[in-house]
Amino acid sequence: MGIIVLLLVLGAGLLVYMFAEAKRNRVVYHDVPLADFPDSFGEIRIFFISDIHRRLVSSKLLDQISGTVDLVIIGGDLAEKGVPMDQIRANLNALKKIGPLYFVWGNNDYEVDYHELDALMLNEGVTILDNRAVKFESEKQEILYLLGVDDMSERRDRLDLAINDCEEPGFRLLVSHNPDIVHKIKAENQISFVLSGHTHGGQIRIFNQGPYEKGGFKKSKNTLLFVSNGYGTTKLPLRLEAKSEANYVTLKKMK
């Protein structure tokens, strides 16, 4: 009987710990030096947050940001079934206080009325990267493109259309909710860096094993990929060995 009680106490304690892990407000900083990054841009500072799902973006998260933010990028799954539009609006308003907002669609975003979600984001001044690219130009006329593709699981992704938006030579940064986009990237696409989420780092890992790899950097054949563990959770509001996070990514020229 005593062993059963002990196991129940340990199990309850583990659930409390996993729930607390899922609610963490953690900003992870990354310096990313790249050989082909245009030197005249100096540094581009990106606040990247993916897989918000049902969470409210907390001031405890945003208060951790030290330094300015040039781009705020939402890497998909801003919403999921049952999340009210008022909560989504509140999250957008919190994020746009720190910098201009850019968004790519994730699979769970299509569980809500996506026409209403699309209208809401446009009304809040969000740039939606749905198979398109946005061009930035430095004072020395060097070009940087921010590309985004629509959700892969819904077969809405058209990397070719986003690439066609890049009319001049320039540095190319791609955002895709699903990291599997790297399998579609060819050398001639000249995409130097990819930001993604979707996997939650496995969300619940046991003895470092999970349904997906932990988030982090991975060199693929034709680009450098970064996968975030994500801010929220899906199905169960629990995490184990895959801490929730948002990311502050600084791109700069490799010296």
d(CA 141, CA 170): 10
Question: What integer pLDDT is reported at residue 210 of this predicted model?
Answer: 80
Check residue 157 and give its pLDDT: 97
Q: What is the DSSP letter of 229?
A: -
Distance (Å, whole) CA 116 – CA 126: 14
Instruction: Indicate which CATH number applies to the domain containing 165.
Output: 3.60.21
Please give the sequence-ordered ranges of beta strands (E in DSSP) within 84-234, or none if there are none: 101-103, 127-128, 132-137, 143-148, 171-175, 193-196, 216-219, 224-227
pLDDT value for 10: 60
Which tokens sit at 32?
A: 């990313």
SS3 call for 23: coil
d(CA 82, CA 97): 25
Q: Tell me the pLDDT of the chain (255 aa) as tens digits.
A: 577 765 565 666 778 888 899 999 999 999 999 999 999 999 999 999 999 999 999 999 999 998 899 999 999 999 999 999 999 999 999 999 999 999 999 999 999 999 999 999 999 999 999 999 999 999 999 999 999 999 998 899 999 999 999 999 999 999 999 999 999 999 999 999 999 999 999 998 887 878 878 889 999 889 999 999 999 998 889 999 899 999 999 999 998
Query: For the chain, how long is the longest CA-to-CA vector?
Result: 75
Structural domain count of the chain: 1
Residues 65, 28: contact at Cβ < 8 Å? no
**Domain with 220 in it:** 2-253
